Structure 1
Amino acid sequence: MSIRTFTLGLFFAAFTLQSLAQQAVETSAAGGRTTILNVVVSSQTREPVPGLTPSDFRLLDNKLQRPIISVKQVEAKQEPMSALIVIDAVNIGYTRVAFVRNQVTKFLRSNEGHLAQPTSIVILTDKGAQVQRGLSTDGNALDVGLGEAEIGLREIRRSSGIWGADERFGMSLTALKQLIAYGGTLPGRKLVLWISPGWPLLTGPRIDLSNRQQQQVFDDVVALKRDMRRSNVTLYSVNPLGPEEDLARAGYYQSFLKGINSSSQADIADLSLQVLSVQSGGLVLNSSDVTGNSSQCLADGRSWYELRFETSEAEHPNEYHSIEVQTDKPGIVARTWTGYYAQP
């Protein structure tokens, strides 16, 4: 069975998401804004925790407790959701891509090829993001399509220096924006698994950003978070290098997890795959067990809570608000967006 593919073109890069705003933010009659969060609640054994009520949650907005309007438990069969698995051949070495391909095959063909969510495979190369047309729960058919896909030697290599790194960063960020826009055309919640060590961070003591560049980074951060929420996308970073990855490099992103309030705080690392994943409520997993990590990420789609709360108007455009959702039940963890940018 042949599964056709298509390339995400410039249409999606310029795709307007204004019509999708109601998926994440609704204006209330009182003049405030009602915001909906997808909250994954799991036990220490990573099992979903059912049966929680609004009284079991506490929401902090900029460290101040806000009233929760409603809490709704959602099962995967109740609402549409889908998964996009990205094989990043731009930022993974060619020999490692073959390994990742085999790991994805194992995932697709597990459980006799029956996937829990409608899934599509995306392959990112120097030519752009190639998406298998249509979503399917038939993992065997998706694997046939993956086997037919051609992933040639990339022209931009990880050893190409700062200029090659800059080009890989640009291609990766463009592909992410396109996938977010594409996700906005799909119904319900979307889980995007990006199998990659991440794109180059382009940061450090020898790299200084001008004020204009910092403003561009800040604008990109604001737009990405806005569009991901509107498209109902959660991002996951699955690093397939495992023990081969330098531990200092693999954990460097943790210095940038706190949201930024202005362009003066902006760094290119604020746009890294790992940072955006954590801040969207997803996971960052560093292991060569791509098959197992993919299953762990997509387990977030089995059950979650939709938490609705009202925010006050911001004092100025792009005012950053940190978010923390807590529960009073011992031994369980609630994971969701870590912040958002409020508007007047």
Structure 2
Amino acid sequence: MSALNRVRLVLFCLLFLPLAAFSQQQAAPTPPPDQLPAASAPISEARDSNLVLDVVVTDRSGKPRAGLTQNDFVVRDNNQIRKILSFRAVDSAAPAEPVKIILLVDEVNTSFTRVAYERDQLKKFLLQNGGQLTHPVSLAFFSDTGTEMQSGSSRDGNALLADFDQHVTKLRTIRRSAGFYGAEERLDLSLKAIGMLAATESKEPGRKMVIWISPGWPILSGPNITLTAKEQQGLFSSIVYLSTALRQARITLYSIDPLGVADAATTRVFYYEEFLKPVSKPQDAQAGDLALQVLARQSGGQALNSSNDITQQITRCVAEADAFYTLTVEPVPSDRPNQSHVVAVSVETAGMTARTRSLYYGQP
């Protein structure tokens, strides 16, 4: 089978987006295919009556800004100003339920030697302030056999580091076929992992921040890849599925590229920006629309690269849990299934930038 045909096959198979094993301490077997949900199936229609947005407002230096009120915000859905039904400011002066922060180490898309470097950088982060973290953190590890998540969250960086050290001793070199065939497998494993993570976290209340340390999975898009209408429909269904799953789980996704300055001069670190525009119809769907960095930016998070200081980048992401705003708005009605909606939140204060989920798919 040619590489082109294999690309078309894997994209079409994404319609079903089978969910990978995801456990608290040990990966569980993947359920049989007949027990897997189709990507086009509704996630939870009852939870879509109103749109919940977690908004971070930063100043010119990039520092999160606290102290704003509801009157400072304007929310637009497909260019229509929407009424804010509820408003909550979360900061040190108005504490709420802790934000769940998940640090996920990607051992599938990152080399063994680079994961070892990540370990040193994570150690520095966990041992800041004598190991007393400002927010509860949990660790997750994505490998060939599934995603392993340490049970519970903790502010004790020393205890988290002990768990991490125990896991690192089990690492092995990823023995996967090279070239295109390996890229296909990594894409498949990665999308299964993020889908299962969203499905698992949707059962828990509150906001979650998932910091995915990875250069990202293969984009598998380009001018020489042509898909049939049926294949594009399947890919579009997967795009809608993952976007909806992340939104309903209230996950803000962050990606940190551990390749650092070694990758800074390449076009790869910016190529994902070609796919940031919302996909409104199947005939526009490409595999690049499911890139890690694209999902992160569309969820309201960041895609960080070109720095060897992973510790600082993690700290930068975690700081966005210090001050943010949760807005509930009435969405613009959808007149067709899977209608794309562009969301924009602005603040009236000069020099302030609001960042939140920029896209969702609505149902009539």
TM-score normalised to structure 1 length: 0.90
Partners of 1:278 and 1:330 in 2: CA distance: 23
Bigger drift between 94-103 and 269-278 goes to 94-103
Deviations 1:248-277 (A, max 9, x none): 111001111111101101000000000000
Offset, 1:238? 0.3
Question: Is the counterpart of residue 67 in structure 1 residue 83 in structure 2?
Answer: yes
Matching residue of 2:272: 253
Please name the residue that 2:17 is paired with: none
Following superposition of structure 1 onto structure 2, how do residues 110-259 of structure 1 map, counting pairs within 5 Å?
Answer: 110-149=128-167, 150-156=170-176, 160-245=178-263, 246-259=265-278
2:294 pairs with one of 246, 254, 275: 275
Match of 1:7 among 16, 22, 27: 27
| Maintained 8 Å contact 2:78/2:332 | no
Q: 1:19 to 1:261 in 2, by over 3 A?
A: closer
What does 1:317-328 align with in structure 2 at a 5 Å threshold? 317-328=337-348
| Range that drifts further, 76-85 or 293-302 | 76-85
Kindly indicate whether residue 63 of structure 2 is the aligned counterpart of residue 47 of structure 1: yes
SS of residue paired to 1:236: strand
The one-letter amino acid of 1:43's match is D
Task: Name the SS for the 1:148 alignment partner.
Answer: helix
The one-letter code sitting in structure 2 at the alignment partner of 1:202 is: L
Stretch of structure 1 that moved more, 197-206 or 126-135: 126-135
- Native 8 Å contact 2:341 2:361 kept in 1: yes
The residue number in structure 2 matching 1:92 is 110
**Alpha carbons 1:35, 1:308 under 8 Å: kept:** yes
Structure 2: which amino acid aligns with 1:40? Answer: V
The answer for unaligned runs of 5 or more in structure 1 is: 28-33
Q: Which residue of 2 aligns with 1:315?
A: 335
Q: How far apart in 2 are the matches of 1:217 and 1:325?
A: 28
Per-residue CA deviations over 1:183-215 (Å, capped at 9, x if unaligned) read 223331110011000000011123222222211
Q: Does 1:294 align with 2:300?
A: no
Q: Where in structure 2 are there 5+ consecutive unaligned residues?
A: 1-23
1:104 maps to 2:119: no
Question: 1:8 touches 1:131 (CA, 8 Å); kept in 2?
Answer: no
Task: Tell me, in whole angstroms, the C-alpha distance in 1 between the residues paired with 2:196 and 2:308.
Answer: 27
Confirm or deny: 8 A CA contact 1:217 1:271 kept in the other structure: no
TM-score when normalising by structure 2: 0.85
* 1:58–1:327 CA contact under 8 A, matched in 2: yes
Pick aligned residue for 1:303 from 323, 330, 347: 323
Match of 1:266 among 279, 282, 285: 285
Instruction: For 2:44 and 2:226, locate their aligned partners in 1 and report how far apart those are by CA, in whole Å.
Output: 36
* Mapped partners of 1:193, 1:112: distance in 2: 22
The 8 Å contact of residues 346 and 354 in structure 2, kept in 1 or not, is answered as yes
Match status 1:78 vs 2:96: yes
Could you tell me how far 1:10 is from its partner in structure 2? Answer: 3.5
Does residue 72 of structure 2 align to residue 56 of structure 1? yes
User: Match of 2:155, SS?
Assistant: strand
Matches of 2:51 and 2:285 in 1, distance apart?
25
TM-superposed CA distance for 1:172, in Å, is: 0.7
Alignment-derived partner of residue 31 in structure 1: none
**In the TM superposition, what whole-angstrom CA distance separates every residue of 1:288-308 from its partner, at most 9, and x where no partner exists?**
211110111111111211112
Please give the secondary structure, in 2, of the residue aligned with 1:176. Answer: helix
Letter in 1 for 2:127: R
On the 8 A contact 1:8/1:178 being kept in 2, the answer is no
Measured in 1, the distance between the counterparts of 2:135 and 2:29 equals: 25
Q: CA deviation at 1:55?
A: 2.2
Q: Distance in 2 between matches of 1:174 and 1:127?
A: 11
Give the number of equivalent residue pairs: 330
Q: C-alpha root-mean-square deviation of aligned residues, in Å?
A: 2.1
Percent identity for Structure 1 against Structure 2: 38
- CA separation in 1, counterparts of 2:212 and 2:278? 21
- Mean alpha-carbon deviation: is it higher for 75-84 or for 313-322? 75-84
More divergent stretch after superposition (51-60 vs 213-222): 51-60
Residues 1:75 and 1:7: Cα distance change in structure 2 (over 3 Å): farther
Distance in structure 1 (CA, Å) of the matches to 2:195 and 2:291: 13
Q: C-alpha distance in 2, partners of 1:177/1:217?
A: 14
Letter in 2 for 1:72: R
Letter in 1 for 2:203: T
- Structure 1 pair 331–9 and aligned structure 2 pair: CA distance change class (3 A): farther
Q: CA deviation at 1:244?
A: 1.3
State the alpha-carbon separation in 1 of the partners of residues 37 and 313 from structure 2: 31
